[in-house]
Amino acid sequence: MSSLKKDSWGSRVGLILAMAGNAVGLGNFLRFPVQAVENGGGAFIIPYLVCFLLMGIPLLWIEWSSGRLGGKHGHHSTPFILDTMDKRKFWKYLGVFGIFTNIAVAAYYCYIESWTMAYVFHSIAGTFDSLKQSEVAEFFGSYIDIGHSTTGIPYEAVIFYIFCLLLNTFILSRGLAGVEKAAKIGMPLLIIFGIFLAFKGLTLGTSGATAEHPDANAFEGLNFLWTPQYDSLTNPKVWLAAEARYSLHYL
């Protein structure tokens, strides 16, 4: 009788980078600054850290422990992990929803990735060179129109999405080895791009200013973002926004 092949991480560095990529991703670049501005500026860090301690860490421990328990028995999907924990059939059927949510989250992130890939493509192609900030926003407003093409390629948005979907499917089909290899390449690139974007943002001067604030620069924007508005802590919506950061992440 052949034994089950157990998938495992190849190195501790790969594991750390993969977990870091799971915790720090596009959401921190694209979503968190907007949420902070809309929910009390620097004061948003307080409910964010509270939710991290009360939700983020416990959910991480639960996810990690469940995965390790299932992995010991050669199981890596939620139906069989839950079946390992409790032999009643109810848990195996409940675990099927874990597969559906993973597919939904993967599809959503592939869509976000396709936008990012399109942005990189048009940045390299020089599409935005003569456009103002508002015009770039309008550009992507028309980009999501399924019949619109900004490159002459029919159904451009669909093509970028399908390419990202196939790329992610290929990586995930390789198991932990594929995820680890992608993390070893992607995480250093994310750090490099993050440093570059931070430098670029701080040296833009007033070129990113709006009509309402024509003299605004990057440092004024940072002051607006991080100045605490402590009265916002009494608003339940601020706490719900912080809680959503973790509950949606661990669906």
Taking residues 198-226, report their average pLDDT: 70
Domain residue ranges in the chain: 29-247
Neighbours of 63 (CB within 10 A): 12
pLDDT higher at 100 or 162 = 162
- What's the mean per-residue pLDDT of the chain? 78
CA of 209: how far to CAs of 122, 123, 172, in Å?
A: 22, 20, 41
What is the distance of C-alpha 247 from the center of its chain? 13
Q: How far apart are CA 103 and CA 100, in angstroms?
A: 5
pLDDT of residue 212: 60
Q: How far apart are CA 170 and CA 229, in angstroms?
A: 45
Taking residues 52-70, report their average pLDDT: 80
Q: How far apart are CA 4 and CA 77, in angstroms?
A: 14
Q: How far apart are CA 246 and CA 58, in angstroms?
A: 11
**Above 60 in pLDDT, residue 1?**
no
Q: How far apart are CA 186 and CA 81, in angstroms?
A: 29
pLDDT of residue 166: 92
Confidence of residue 245 (pLDDT cuts 50, 70, 90): low
Taking residues 222-227, report their average pLDDT: 76
**Above 80 in pLDDT, residue 247?**
no
pLDDT in tens, 12-48: 888 788 877 776 666 677 777 778 888 888 888 888 8
pTM above 0.75, yes or no: no
**Above 60 in pLDDT, residue 249?**
no
**Above 70 in pLDDT, residue 85?**
yes
